[in-house]
Amino acid sequence: MGAAQLPGNPLSKDSLTTQVQYFAAQTGSFCSEYESKNYLAHMNTPNVVRDFDLIRNLTGHDTFDYWGWSYGTIIGTMYAQMYPDKVGKMVLDGTTPTSPTSQQPARTFEED
């Protein structure tokens, strides 16, 4: 199965719905037979971030150290937005734009 270029903002509800539908179509009846649509509706970046913070809390860490690349940079950025007082060491390598129309290059350390 090859990767598909799907239109729209990858973080929007409509785009996510399209991606889930594409994935379900590519994987045959597996998703419809073995996965609940109610469950799939809760698979999103904010919930991943909440899960990470729950794991941080349950393991007794005061802060969250994270190294994210590609889509993981969106998770890291959202974690920092949702839990700014819990961020420890964080590396975001190869940041992914949150908007497909973003033409701004990422800032570098030299610009700061």
Would the pLDDT of 101 be above 50? Answer: no
Q: How far apart are CA 36 and CA 97, in angstroms?
A: 30
d(CA 56, CA 60): 6
Q: What is the pLDDT of residues 11-69, one digit of tens each?
A: 566 776 777 777 767 766 665 676 677 777 778 899 999 999 999 999 999 999 999 98
Note the pTM of the prediction, 2 decimals: 0.57
Q: Quick check: helix, strand or coil at residue 68?
A: strand
Spell out the alpha helix ranges (H) of the chain: 13-26, 30-34, 37-40, 45-58, 72-82
Mark residue 60 as left, alpha or beta (left: phi above 0; alpha: psi -120 to 50; beta: remaining).
left
Give pLDDT tens digits for 85-99. Answer: 999 999 998 766 665
